[in-house]
Each structure stands twice: as C-alpha cells, then as structure tokens.
Amino acid sequence: MLAAFALQLTLTGSVLAADELREVAVADPYLEMHTGPGRGYPIFHVVDRGETVSIIMQRTDWYLVRDADGDEGWVDREQMELTLKPDGSAVDFKRATIKDFTNARWELGLLAGDFGGANIISVYGGYSLNPYVSIEVWGSQILGNFSNGWMGSVNVVHEAFPEWRISPFFTLGAGVIHTEPKSTIVQGEDRTDQIGHVGAGFRIYATRRFVLRAEYKSYVVFTSRDDNEEVEEWKVGFAFFF
Amino acid sequence: MESRFRVLFLIALVFTMSGCAATKNLFGFGNEETPPPTSEPPGQVIDPEVERREIKEPAIDKEDFEIGVFTGIMSIEDFGTNLVYGARIAYHLTEGFFIEATVGRSEGGLTSFEILSGGARLISDSERILTYYNLNLGYNILPGEVFFGEGRAYNEQLYLIAGLGSTRFAGDDRFTVNVGAGYRLLLTDSVAFHVDFRDHLFDIDLFGEEKTAHNLEAHIGVTVFF
C-alpha cells in the first residue's frame, strides 16, 4: 500500500517534470546506455553521434537519459562530458575535485571518539566564509559509564593552508553541556553548564566529496562549583562537502 | 600532561596565526585568479545537426537522497522478540558509498526470570520501550539484475553498513555499535524495496555484571529516491 503510494508519487513527479528535460546531443561516436547506475550493469543500447537525448535524472555519477525512440538507460559522467548543448557548445558536467575541497561552502560531518573517558557521537554542519575561515555548529551525545548527556556548540575554524590535501586547522568555540548522572551509581542531579574550548586537527581530502577529519579539543566546563572542570576530547570521522 | 597540551596549542596558535595574513581577505575569497581571456573558443570536432537556439537550461533532477520506512522484528537479548518499526534517510555519495541515518522503536517483553518468578519485575513498562538512532556508512556490493518472467528486469544490490548510535532501553542511553547487511531491489528508478539484517551491540549491566548484548533486527522497507 505504501509502496503503491510512493510509486504513485514518483510517477506523478516524473510526469510533471517531463516537459522540461535538458537535452544534449551525442558528440562521441556513440553513447553507451547501461541498465543501471553502476559500472557492473551491462550496456544494452547505444545512441549514435548526432542524435539527441534528454536527461531524466542524475544519481551520483550516472545520468538516466532517454533517446528519441524512448529507450531509457544510464550513462556515466565521462561519456556525458562528450555531449553538446542544443546550441553546439560543450556541456559542463562538473565533478567534485580537490579544488571544491578548498572552496566548497557547506560541509556536513559525523565524528565519534572519546570525551574524558566517555563515548561521544557528534554531527556538525559548517559554512565557509572564505577558504580560510568557517563557522560550524555541533551537536553531540555523550554516553559514559557514570553519566550521559548532550552538548551543543558553535565553533570558528581557521585553516592556514586550505589548499593542502591534508589541511591543518585550529578551532575556538563555546556552547552548553547537559549532564545526567546515572542515579544508580552516582548521586547527583542534572546539570547544564556553559563550556568553552580550543582545539586543533586535520581535514583530509579523500575523494569526490569525501573528507576525513581527526581532531583534539580541550574543554573548560564553567560549573557553579568552586572549580571549573577540564575535559579532553579526541575524535575521528568523515564529512562531505557540497 | 595538561601543560604539554597547552604548549602544543600555543605552537598550533603561532603556527596558524602565521597564516593569518590570510585574514586580510576575511570576508572575500582573496585575490581570485581570473583566467586570461581566450581569443577564440576551442575548436569543435563535429558540428551536430541541431538548430541553434537560445534556451534556458532546465536543471537536472539530482536524486542522491533516499528516504523510507521499515518494519520487522527485533530480538532484544533476554527480553524476547518483538515488532520493530522506523525510518531511514540515506545520501549516496558515489555509486558505492552512502551514508545513512536510521531511527527505530521496539519493545522488550518479559525475561525468563520475570516469567518464572511470577510477580517480580526488573524494569518498568515504560523502560521496556526501546528506541534507537544510528549513523552509518554503507557500501553497495554485488550489483545486478533480477528477472521476473521473460519481460521484466529489476536492478538490485547488496550492501553492507556499519555505524554508531545510541539506544535508549531499560532506563539508560546506551552507546551502540551497529553492523548489518541489506538487499535493495529497485522497483522503478526511484522506488526501492529493502530487506535488512542488523545487529545492535550495546553494554548492559541489568543482571549484575556488565555484558555486551547482541540485539538482532530483521526488517523490510520501502524507500523513495529524491
């Protein structure tokens, strides 16, 4: 029932979009259509040079195209780059490169590691003001033996050499931490405290839109007690930019 | 130990600030290089027989996201097997890799001890409700096609996933490692049917000593690419 509903949705979606598909002309001797969006799927049809095809959709590096006879198949990016626009100019099917690693505006990532002996899982979203400076918003869940909690913070990240494949960064930030001691083990009540932190790490360009990231942060928790707490955090994970 | 890190940070600070000459371009992209004007457009190899016309290029429909729901059974160690249901969203980075977030909910039954002892309850009813979230990295393996009769072929893939998350069960949030394998059958180019098997591993000390519990889940689901 759900499947039928979803099917209906996509069918109407494709009908609505059908009247404005992008058309390109084949400039290579022929364009190879695969049965699916992947290298392993066999070629079942070829479109000759000079014929036009319409692009129905894109998934990762594959394009679903339809030729004049109504045959539909998947074509990879490298072949699509050899097609021409209706006015005869070359089509630009961009693929992410290390240049986008330096210049991309948005980044989303997932890291996990150790936060003062507890496990921590973090997600973040970043926006680059320029290649050197970006602002990140972090949300983390902390899962420890004696207490659980969550943490939210805003960071400013500075990269001195953003064009390097392994790009070091320095970060400063502030936020809040909420801790809930496990009542069976530790006597205590839930607390919400402000935090400040400094840190450093590396962003490493892997491939396409993929980035690996490793970092160390040192936190100061401004508690209402006499002493502030200091917590060290190590994390590794991955991110992608767009 | 701490003073060593302070020194490390001061070094890092000096190191990065030396690059801060860059901050003169703080809110611009600096002296971006403009390519030298080309005197003539690159020569065309062929001249396709299409009319020259000025058109606005329609955007290509990118379908890298996959969203859907699933339902199945989940075996919670010591607490029996029950219905599980949830939702997932995935983003396909390449034809191989994707990242996925799932949320799910199930409920634990009675342990053998609780059944045998009659009235004694280890945890309350509300603590028996299990909810989880996971953030996974997935990889598609063994792509292929399946055939229904003579005239129909559907694309399919197996995939492996592994990731981290948190499970709330028996009055606590538990750090959870999640591994599994799944099968994706594409009914159309945008709608997929899934069968998944997953293991959720977390530590639990409800019975005195801490142990790692394996909580196996099997579910079927439907997703839509958008």
Q: Report if pTM > 0.95.
A: no
CA distance A176 to chain B (A): 19
pLDDT digits (tens, 9 = 90+) for B94-110: 888 899 999 999 998 88
What's residue B20's pLDDT?
Answer: 47
What's residue B207's pLDDT?
Answer: 79
CB contact under 8 A, A50 and B188: no
Q: Which of residues 144-203 of A touch B (CB under 8 A)?
A: 148, 158, 160-161, 168-170, 182, 198, 200
- Is the Cα torsion angle B155, B161, B165, B166 positive or negative in sign? positive
Q: Which of B5, B53, B175 sits opposite A87 (nearest CB)?
A: B53
DSSP B125: T
CATH topology of domain B65-225: Porin (2.40.160)
Residues 6+ apart with CB under 8 A from B90: B65, B66, B67, B98, B99, B100, B101, B138, B223
Determine the Cα–Cα distance for residues B86 and A49; give it in Å rounded to an integer: 48
Provide the 3-class DSSP secondary structure of residue A29: coil
What's residue B34's pLDDT?
Answer: 52
What's residue B23's pLDDT?
Answer: 45
Below-50 pLDDT ranges, chain A: 1, 5-18
Q: Write out the DSSP string of B52-110.
A: ----PPPPP-B--EEEEEEEEEEE-TTS-EEEEEEEEEEEESSSSEEEEEEEEEEE---
Query: Which has the closest alpha carbon to A33: A65, A56, A81, A70?
Result: A65
What's residue B7's pLDDT?
Answer: 62
What's residue A30's pLDDT?
Answer: 82
CA distance A224 to chain B (A): 23
Strand partners, B71: B85, B220
Q: Nearest-CA residue of chain A relative to B18? A: A160
Domains A20-84 and A100-241 share a fold: no
Q: Which of B50, B55, B191 sits opposite A10 (nearest CB)?
A: B191
Determine the Cα–Cα distance for residues B154 and A89; give it in Å rounded to an integer: 36
Residue B105 CA to chain centroid, in angstroms? Answer: 17
What's residue B104's pLDDT?
Answer: 94
CB contact under 8 A, A60 and B9: no
Quick one: what percent of chain B has pLDDT higher than 90? 42
Below-50 pLDDT ranges, chain B: 1, 19-30, 32
Other beta carbons less than 10 A from residue A80's beta carbon = 22
Q: By CB neighbour count within 10 A (0-12 exposed, 13-18 middle, 19+ buried), where does A95 fall?
A: exposed
What's residue B42's pLDDT?
Answer: 58
What rounded mean pLDDT belongs to chain B?
A: 81
Domain boundaries, chain B: 65-225
CB contact under 8 A, B16 and A10: no
Domain boundaries, chain A: 20-84, 100-241
What's residue A14's pLDDT?
Answer: 44
Multiple choice CATH, A100-241, 1.20.140.10, 2.40.50.180, 2.40.160.20, 3.20.20.70: 2.40.160.20
CB contact under 8 A, A200 and B59: no
Q: Which of B27, B51, B143 sits opposite A129 (nearest CB)?
A: B27
Please give the interface size between A and B, counted as residue pairs whose CB atoms are below 8 Å apart. 181
Q: B191 to chain A: which residues are within 8 Å by CB?
A: 3, 6-7, 10
E strands, chain A, in order? 22-26, 30-34, 43-48, 52-59, 62-67, 72-76, 83-84, 106-115, 118-128, 133-143, 147-159, 166-181, 191-207, 210-222, 229-241
Q: Write out the DSSP string of A136-147.
A: EEEEEEEE-SSE
Query: Which has the closest alpha carbon to B61: B164, B190, B159, B215?
Result: B190
Q: Given the DSSP bridges, would you call strands A210-222 and A229-241 parallel, antiparallel or unpaired? A: antiparallel
Q: In the CATH scheme, what architecture does the domain A20-84 have?
A: Roll (2.30)
Q: B194 to chain A: which residues are within 8 Å by CB?
A: none
